[in-house]
């Protein structure tokens, strides 16, 4: 295992331990507590909290800053809540997530909804209780998180997918839904890193552009993976949905994905002069995903 992987393993363990502390077990018969913990603590990739911590380091923060870990956990709670809601019967009606039965299929739809609402609410509480951060940082972080969830973020992305996803859409409409569903929470994670690091507005704008490209790349990779059987999610869940893969074909989407990654790389390089952790993380992650298709993240074709 190289240094980078070693470091990610250490950070993932720290995240897991802190999430475990921040989500107390409650009484055993309380299904809302159980669902909140299972939805958050079950093995996830932790992409958003890792981005937050790595970007903060690249921007000059001490990575051991305890407040950073708390903000990262808050972002992961929001992500976990959004997955629980996306999976319920009146949304995507999914049975599998992260290789396990979805929360509602284990505990019921009402418990899944209540657990998601409690997680979201807890996330805002975790931000304002984050250790060793000044109140003005925390209020900015809450504002970023609020924007990423609401009617200009995850909620709106899910609504667009539900209301338009089953009929033909323009690629612009698909890109907008992808941005709302994925780029906005990436952006909130990166903005929180910049807030803690005290970065300039120019740097924050560059991170915003990075989040845009990275979110699109993630969503395209997710769409490309939909037909694969080892994703831990229901296979062919996108069947009949209007995605860029359905519109343009897999090869054109691979090309677009590489363009987004190249652009993302330029933005993160200009935002972070001091470190390379975020770039390294992004490349390693996409290389691993691309390998499933026998492709590389930087070179065309195979």
Write out the residues near a second copy by the rule CB under 8 A: 26, 30-33, 36, 85, 88, 90-91, 108-111, 113-118, 120-122, 124-125, 127-129, 134-136, 138-140, 142-143, 145-147, 149-151, 155-156, 158-159, 162-163
Choice between 89 and 300, CB closer to a second copy? 89
Choice between 20 and 266, CB closer to a second copy? 20
Choice between 113 and 246, CB closer to a second copy? 113
Choice between 128 and 235, CB closer to a second copy? 128
Q: How near is the Cβ of 93 to a second copy at its closest, in Å?
A: 10
Report the 3 state secondary structure along 111-178: HHHHHHHHHHHHHHHHHHHCCCCCHHHHHHHHHHHHHHHCCCCHHHHHHHHHHHCCCCCCHHHHHHHH
User: HSE-up of 125 (CA within 13 Å, CB side)?
Assistant: 9
Q: Which residue stretches of the chain are H helix?
A: 3-22, 31-41, 47-58, 66-87, 103-107, 109-129, 135-149, 154-164, 171-178, 184-197, 201-225, 244-248, 250-271, 277-291
Choice between 113 and 272, CB closer to a second copy? 113
Q: How near is the Cβ of 90 to a second copy at its closest, in Å?
A: 4
The C-alpha atoms of residue 76 and residue 33 are separated, in whole angstroms, by 16
**Tokens 């070179």, residue?**
299
Q: How near is the Cβ of 78 to a second copy at its closest, in Å?
A: 9
Q: How near is the Cβ of 201 to a second copy at its closest, in Å?
A: 18
Q: How near is the Cβ of 142 to a second copy at its closest, in Å?
A: 4
């Amino acid at each position: 295992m190289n240094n980078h992987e070693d470091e990610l393993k250490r950070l993932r363990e720290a995240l897991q331990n802190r999430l475990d502390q921040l989500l107390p077990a409650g009484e055993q018969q309380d299904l809302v507590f159980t669902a909140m913990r299972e939805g958050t603590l079950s093995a996830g990739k932790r992409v958003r909290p890792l981005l937050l911590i790595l970007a903060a380091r690249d921007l000059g923060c001490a990575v051991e800053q305890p407040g950073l870990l708390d903000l990262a956990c808050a972002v992961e709670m929001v992500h976990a809540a959004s997955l629980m809601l996306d999976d319920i019967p009146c949304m995507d009606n999914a049975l599998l997530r992260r290789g396990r039965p979805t929360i509602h299929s284990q505990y019921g739809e009402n418990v899944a909804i209540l657990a998601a609402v409690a997680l979201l609410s807890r996330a805002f509480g975790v931000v304002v209780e984050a250790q060793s951060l000044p109140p003005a940082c925390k209020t900015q972080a809450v504002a970023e998180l609020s924007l990423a969830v609401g009617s200009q973020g995850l909620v709106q992305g899910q609504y667009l997918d539900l209301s338009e996803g089953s009929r033909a859409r323009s690629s612009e409409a698909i890109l907008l839904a992808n941005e709302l569903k994925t780029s906005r929470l990436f952006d909130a994670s990166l903005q929180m890193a910049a807030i803690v690091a005290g970065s300039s507005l120019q740097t924050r704008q560059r991170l915003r552009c990075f989040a845009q490209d990275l979110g699109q790349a993630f969503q395209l990779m997710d769409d490309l993976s939909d037909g694969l059987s080892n994703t831990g999610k229901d296979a062919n869940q996108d069947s009949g949905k209007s995605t860029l893969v359905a519109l343009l074909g897999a090869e054109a989407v691979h090309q677009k994905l590489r363009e987004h990654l190249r652009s993302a790389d330029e933005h993160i390089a200009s935002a972070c002069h001091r470190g390379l952790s975020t770039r390294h993380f992004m490349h390693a992650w996409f290389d691993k995903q691309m390998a499933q298709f026998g492709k590389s993240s930087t070179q065309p074709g195979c």
